[in-house]
Structure 1
Amino acid sequence: MSPLSNPSQLIVRNIDLLEVEQLLIFNAFTDNLLTTVCQHAKCITAFTSNFASYQNAQKVCATTSNHTVNHHIGPWYNEAQTFDAALLFFPKSKKEFLFNIENIFAQLKSDGVVYVVGDNKGGVKSLPKLLKEYTVSVDKIDSARHCSLFAISAPKEKQAFEPEDWFSKYSFNVANTELDIYALPGVFSQTELDEGTKLLLETLATEHKTPLSGKILDFGCGAGVISAWLAKNNPKAQVTAVDVSALAVASTQKTLMEQGLDGEVFLSDGLSEITQNYHYIVSNPPFHDGVKTRYDMTEQFLRDAKSHLNSRTNKSHGLYIVANSFLKYPPIIEKTFGQCLCITKTKKFSIYQA
């Protein structure tokens, strides 16, 4: 169980604000804040779009006696319920914040309030500016440990939340393959094809002149760029995509569906939910968690990947990843796989195969 994050400590300092009948906690950090909140709010609903946070919340609440917490995970909250107050943790994307706040406004009672907490370096101080077009009041409640806490009133006119309106769309063409990508706010590759993934797809096209067959896993699928490209170019292959974010899973599902492409897409914290082996694992693995840089997620993925690959029957089978060239992944790959081939390299990115 993780110690309290700085934003969670600021909430504990103002815990009396959460002493309400119906409380919605929205995208809390992976720590044990719920243990403290359970002693104050009478009925708690914990919603998250992050699978790791969802699993952590269930573990935390399993140790909290005499209190029931309703857990929900998904790209957005859509239950028929209203709340006296909501606690929202400010996300790394400002557009994702607006997506979240409109979702919460649709669930808030007319006299309800939304408390927003976040790291000052993560952009939470921009709240008044972000909400200037909404008919709400925004008041700063407290600040400590480089974090700020705001209170936002319920909007004067309640509007329905329409998730479909929040999908962005763009097109790209790599190796004579044109695709449309659909993405929700906060998802990697939301508005354009990133340079690293483009290099990875170009390299795969060069390395494999004929279509692939067998099972292919896209780890950290984001908006579904890799999954869609693989599915379109390799119709006999079985493509599976996983991500820790329900926003990413929903985006990849829509990207595939809109183009009539097949693929299995589901939530997984790393490879935790993977139960089968694959001929290929292809990834532009993440190394950010919110506003912080974290390498341990990808390092754990690299250590675990080998156990989810079929025994090599073809020299091209195996792991393909793109990474910023400064990241020290080759030693980890070599330790796990015995070798690490750098098959493409630019000033900024490297493509590794194992």
Structure 2
Amino acid sequence: MSAFTPSSQILQRHESLFSGKNLLVAGDFHDDYMLQLDTAMTKVHCTLFHIYSHLNDRRQNAVIEFGLLPSESCYNNTDTLIYYWPKNKSEAQFQLACLLNHLAKGTDVFIVGENRSGVKSAETLLSDFGSIQKIDSARRCSLYHFQAESRIAFNLEEWWLQYDLHFEQFNLTVCSLPGVFSQKTLDVGSDLLLNTLLEQTQLIKGRVLDMGCGSGVLSAFSAKINPTVELVSADVSAAAIAATQRTLQANHISGEVFASDVFSAISGKFDFIVSNPPFHDGKETNYNAAETLIKQSKTFLNANGKLCIVANSFLPYHQLLDDNFKRVDVIAKTPKFKVYLAC
């Protein structure tokens, strides 16, 4: 995190706007630029646990918070917001609706993001609620200034998404939020993984870890296949944590759900680790989480424990699995995806 992202670099050109302010920083940021600003107070709301952990180590005088939405204390005395636009427009709508509902009237709002992430849609998204102007454009990013002249209503319950999955033995209700992977329908990779596990239900036993749980599909499925499992679900995303908790609740399943940067907050050993690991960080391809999962899984597996992942066929995981496990099998594949079982 030593180098600043293009979004932060464009903010650097306007640092004087934040001098002496009571600042709140929110959205999809991936550096610690905000900690160097000369503000009266800096509050940072993180929705990603690995970013929160990094900032918490360097907090200086800033207040750093992790969660789905900012707490009330984040808004107290805040006169300026910097919002980093995420890759997902619906996630931006969700977060901004909450922020602009809670911020005091007259708060200066600065919205920054990469053009390819759709930050330009902020102009139409917010035009009905106040005046918005583009104040800079550089490094393929845009920076906007906005002042809300009217409040945007926000009710968290209205943002929940839900769909049902039907299997021969049972049905599942999946709950999700904007920005969570497979928020509206089951993705193709997870579908292949679930159907593969339906044919090998003996794999799902004992203590089970769903790493990168997303909306909790694999977690709920595992508990439905074998109600005796001790279920643990983890993700870096606060929205994913909330979605998995709600999915388990909707299906009357109990389990531990918490934030972890891969294995950073995991303890104990497991009989089965299952994952559809991400390979993107924002818009960028990033194998770090999957590589860490593969390299460290063996430390968290019991004797005869197994790791099962689904991945795009083009991803270079087979060799990495071979380097770290005694036996690796491809137990299902399509032209686009493979399901690996390592033990």
TM-score by length of 1: 0.92
- Aligned-partner residue type, residue 85 of structure 2: F
Q: Secondary structure at the match of 1:118?
A: strand
Alpha-carbon distance, 1:174 to partner: 3.5
Q: Secondary structure at the match of 1:311?
A: strand
Aligned residues: 340
Q: Choose 243-252 or 161-170, whichever is displaced more.
A: 161-170
- Aligned-partner residue type, residue 132 of structure 2: V
Report Cα offsets for 1:288-347 as digits up to 9, x if no partner. Answer: 1111111122112111111110011xxxx4011100111110100010013310011111
Of 31, 44, 65, the match for 1:46: 44
Q: Secondary structure at the match of 1:170?
A: strand
Q: Does 1:99 align with 2:94?
A: yes
Equivalent residue, structure 2, for 1:201: 194
Q: Does 1:292 align with 2:289?
A: no
Of 311, 316, 323, the match for 1:335: 323
Q: Is the 8 A contact 2:110 2:146 kept in 1?
A: yes
Separation in 1 of the partners of 2:119 and 2:246? Answer: 30
Alpha-carbon distance, 1:232 to partner: 1.5
Of 177, 183, 189, the match for 1:184: 177
Q: How does 1:150-189 map to 2 (within 5 A)?
A: 150-157=144-151, 159=153, 161-189=154-182
Of 214, 222, 231, the match for 2:214: 222
Q: Choose 119-128 or 249-258, whichever is displaced more.
A: 119-128
Equivalent residue, structure 1, for 2:53: 55
Alpha-carbon distance, 1:158 to partner: 5.6
Equivalent residue, structure 2, for 1:21: 21
Separation in 2 of the partners of 1:321 and 1:52? Answer: 22
Q: Is the 8 A contact 1:175 1:202 kept in 2?
A: no
Alpha-carbon distance, 1:131 to partner: 2.6
Equivalent residue, structure 2, for 1:76: 69
Of 263, 269, 275, the match for 1:277: 269
Q: Is the 8 A contact 2:245 2:257 kept in 1?
A: yes
Alpha-carbon distance, 1:20 to partner: 4.6
Q: Is the 8 A contact 1:344 1:351 kept in 2?
A: yes
| Percent identical | 37
Separation in 2 of the partners of 1:233 and 1:175? Answer: 11
Separation in 1 of the partners of 2:315 and 2:168? Answer: 27
Structure 1: any 5+ residue segments left out of the alignment? none
- Aligned-partner residue type, residue 81 of structure 2: A
- Aligned-partner residue type, residue 120 of structure 2: K
Alpha-carbon distance, 1:4 to partner: 0.8
Separation in 1 of the partners of 2:275 and 2:35? Answer: 36
Alpha-carbon distance, 1:35 to partner: 3.0
- Aligned-partner residue type, residue 332 of structure 1: L
Structure 2: any 5+ residue segments left out of the alignment? none
- Aligned-partner residue type, residue 11 of structure 1: L
Equivalent residue, structure 1, for 2:8: 8
Q: Is the 8 A contact 1:169 1:180 kept in 2?
A: yes
Q: Choose 169-178 or 275-284, whichever is displaced more.
A: 169-178
Q: Is the 8 A contact 2:197 2:203 kept in 1?
A: no
Alpha-carbon distance, 1:202 to partner: 0.7
- Aligned-partner residue type, residue 353 of structure 1: L
- Aligned-partner residue type, residue 92 of structure 1: K
Equivalent residue, structure 1, for 2:135: 141
Equivalent residue, structure 2, for 1:311: 303
Q: Residue 157 and residue 327 in structure 1: after superposition, are their counterparts in 2 closer, same or farther (change >3 A)?
A: closer
Q: Does 1:320 align with 2:308?
A: yes
